[in-house]
Amino acid sequence: MGSYITKRLLISIPLVLVISFVTFGFIHLSPLDPAEVVLHSQGIPTITDELLAQTRAKLGMDQPFLTRYLNWVVSCLQLDFGDSYVTGKPVWSMLGPAFLHTLKLTLVSTFAIVVLSIVLGVACALNAGKWVDKSVRGISFCLTSMPSYWLAALLIWYFSVKLDLLPTSGMESYKSYILPVIVITISYAGIYFRMIRSSMLSNMNEDYVLYARASGLTEKKITMHILRNSLQVSISVFCMAVPIILGSTVVVENIFAWPGLGTLSVKSILSRDFPIIQAYVLVLAVSFILFNTVSDIINAALNPKLRDGL
Amino acid sequence: MTNILEVKNLKIWDSRNERVIVPNSSFHVKQGSCLAIVGESGSGKSVTCKAIMRLNKAGIRQSGDILLRGINLMELSEQEMRKKRGKQLCMILQSSMRAFDPSCVVGVHLQETLVEHFGWSREEITTKMKNAMESVRLKNPIEVMNTYPHQLSGGMLQRVMIALTIVLEPDIIIADEPTTALDTVSQFEVVEQFRQLRERMGCSMIFISHDLGIVKLMADDVLVMKEGEIVENGTTQAIFSEPQHTYTRYLLSTKLALNQHFKRIMGGVSVAEG
């Protein structure tokens, strides 16, 4: 298992390098001149060619592409993503806290998604075709089909305005987490629990279940074996849920005024703040690779066949 | 000789479409004897055996009486039935490659089963399983127990199942086509193990197979099934020498011809010779 983890981590290194190159390259394909963006954001009325050249030199834009890329990678490794074109502050001082806020929301939501999906998936599979299964699937279908901004608005109206139990927005106490977590959880768990249900159902027809039953094992033990095998498919999906939620909280963050990545990224894109966009894309890409690696490692721990494959 | 298992008026049907799979079956297994159930695929052999264990899928219903040592299994609660499975009624499956949880080492199933029925300690189980596995000619039993199913061959896994049966000492063993999924050499070895198992434990057995060569070698009595019905029932000698039903005669003529292949491979020391 140790050698599997080492190999898997080593494979991730070239992936990160490729992604960082693509991220850097794409931003520089943009027709906008960063020097112009900086000067505009500083409110300079007339932009002369001389001024542009000076600013380019200051930003290091006069150097060759590869030199700039290498300098950027080396600084990124030290968590130095440059300064924001708009505010002039270091990127990490803006991105770091926003990332942490979104990460907290994401992790709490993922935890809720995993627990809810497993509980509902197992309950539905064990009662397949009965009213529990049918009603859970029916209700989840209705909830999942609601757009998250609509669901969020309904929840705010009922719990915050009508009952005055929870805050409408912001990030003050644990209470602030409840509504955004519910909105995120409903949209993901409604899909994921079906996956666990169908995976459980197909495992229930496997011969190892028949043999376990024929050997006189208790239903509780048999269910644990089925669950262990059924979760293998879902582990990857659960792990990938973390980076997916990290990168898709824009709507929820805006509705609940959550000071996270979603809010920051939209603001940066609108103001063409390249260093922040670049760092944002890189951080998300690295988290995709990281959680993909984690999911592979967990899967290998659960499924011995995968360990032999690498 | 007393009957260890008696099946009376067993009817099996699919409740979803009311299709009758086995209309009305009655047969018995004598103490210490081996009853072979033969018939082509879909003749209701496996469903009958699963019905004895009460292990058919949810939609499949059954009625009638199944008496094991005089106790009607049909009247037992699920809890009571579970305690009989494994300990008194042992099943050996056809697909040994898929009979063990693929994400656990083989030993986990053995441990769980034996703890469930006897409450033995880990060491006790390891010692007993080690002896049983050695007796079915499995080398390095401890290593085998710590191996994942996909790392073992079908024949080895089949022998692990037989070893578990030896430790469980059931009243009756139900072997559902235990040799079908194996290659010819493994088939020969596994059949040998079954023969020794019967000699050593003197236990009764239901042996489902469509390989008549193996049936001739293993069974005392034979039951021929066609489309869910028992068309012929008698001693092995009688069935093989004087088959009454046309279907039995058809099975004998086709299957024994196929078994000549086996004979050639085994260099004359053939199961078919029985």
pLDDT of residue B39: 86
pLDDT of residue B114: 95
Task: Specify which of A107-121, A236-250, A285-299 reaches the highest per-range mean pLDDT.
Answer: A107-121
pLDDT of residue B271: 47
What is the average per-residue pLDDT within B175-202? Answer: 79
pLDDT of residue B145: 93
pLDDT of residue B84: 92
pLDDT of residue B272: 43
Residues of B in contact with A228 (CB under 8 A): 101, 103-104
d(CA B78, CA A212): 15
Taking Cα atoms as reference points, which of A161, A149, A138, A140 lies closest to residue A256? Answer: A149
In angstroms, the separation between the Cα of residue A213 and the nearest Cα of chain B is 8
Residues of A in contact with B60 (CB under 8 A): none
Cross-chain residue pair A215–B102, CB shorter than 8 Å = no
> What percent of chain A is predicted at pLDDT more than 90?
36
Q: Are A240 and A290 in contact (CB under 8 A)?
A: no
pLDDT of residue A304: 75
Residues of B in contact with A299 (CB under 8 A): none
pLDDT, tens digit (0-9, with 9 covering 90-100), for A96-128: 999 999 999 999 999 999 999 999 999 999 998
> pLDDT band for position B258 (50/70/90)?
low
What is the average per-residue pLDDT within A206-232? Answer: 93
Q: Phi/psi class of residue B169: alpha, beta or left (left: φ > 0; alpha: ψ in -120 to 50)?
A: left
Q: Phi and psi at residue B47, in whole multiples of 5°? A: -60, -40
Whether residue A129 has pLDDT greater than 70? yes
Q: Which residue in A has a C-alpha nearest to residue B52's C-alpha? A: A214
d(CA A257, CA A104): 15
Dihedral angle computed from the Cα positions of residues B122, B128, B133 and B136, in that order, rounded to the nearest 10 degrees: -160
Q: Provide the 10 A C-beta neighbour count for residue A270.
A: 8
Cross-chain residue pair B85–A212, CB shorter than 8 Å = no
Q: Using CB atoms, pick whichever of B85, B91, B100 lies closest to residue A208.
A: B100
pLDDT of residue B268: 57
Give helix then strand counts, H and E, for chain B: 10, 10
From residue A231, alpha-carbon distances to A64, A303, B47, B100 in Å are 49, 10, 30, 17
d(CA B266, CA A237): 51
Of A30 and B122, the one with more pLDDT: B122
d(CA A270, CA A286): 23
Residues of A in contact with B52 (CB under 8 A): none
Q: For chains A and B, what is the number of CB pairs under 8 angstroms?
A: 79
d(CA B50, CA B208): 11
Domains, chain A: 92-259 (1.10.3720.10)
Residues of A in contact with B95 (CB under 8 A): 207
pLDDT, tens digit (0-9, with 9 covering 90-100), for A59-89: 777 788 888 889 888 888 888 888 888 888 8
pTM for this entry: 0.81
Q: Which residue in B has a C-alpha nearest to residue A303's C-alpha? A: B103
Q: Using CB atoms, pick whichever of B93, B103, B109 lies closest to residue A302.
A: B103
pLDDT of residue B94: 82
Q: Using CB atoms, pick whichever of A208, A215, A216 lies closest to residue B98.
A: A208
Whether residue A130 has pLDDT greater than 50? yes
Amino acid identity at A226: I
d(CA B188, CA B214): 9
Both tokens assigned to B149 = 């199913």
What is the average per-residue pLDDT within A40-55? Answer: 78
pLDDT of residue B63: 94
3-state secondary structure B110-144: HHHHHHHHHCCCHHHHHHHHHHHHHHCCCCCHHHH
Q: Using CB atoms, pick whichever of A207, A214, A221 lies closest to residue B86.
A: A214
The listed CATH number (2.70.98.40, 3.40.50.300, 3.40.50.1860, 3.40.50.740) that belongs to domain B3-273: 3.40.50.300
pLDDT, tens digit (0-9, with 9 covering 90-100), for B9-25: 999 999 988 899 999 99
Q: Using CB atoms, pick whichever of B55, B99, B116 lies closest to residue A208.
A: B99
Count of residues in chain B? 274
pLDDT, tens digit (0-9, with 9 covering 90-100), for A144-161: 898 989 999 999 999 999
Residues paired with B91 in a beta bridge = B174
Whether residue B54 has pLDDT greater than 90? yes
pLDDT of residue B266: 67
Indicate the helix (H) or strand (E) that contains B14: strand B3-14
Alpha helices in chain A (DSSP H): 2-29, 34-41, 49-59, 65-77, 91-126, 131-145, 148-155, 174-204, 207-214, 219-246, 250-255, 261-270, 274-302, 304-309
Whether residue A44 has pLDDT greater than 80? no
pLDDT of residue A123: 95
Residues paired with B28 in a beta bridge = B6
- Helices B184-201 and B154-168 pack at an angle, to 10 degrees, of 10
Q: Which residue in B has a C-alpha nearest to residue A126's C-alpha? A: B58
User: Which residue's entry shows tokens 């029925």?
Assistant: B117
pLDDT, tens digit (0-9, with 9 covering 90-100), for A1-11: 778 888 888 88
Residues of A in contact with B90 (CB under 8 A): 214-215
- Go through B28-54 and write b for each residue having 16 or more CB atoms within 10 A of its CB, e for each that does not: bbeeebbbbbbbeeebbbbbbbbbbbb
Q: Are B163 and B125 in contact (CB under 8 A)?
A: no
Whether residue B274 has pLDDT greater than 60? no
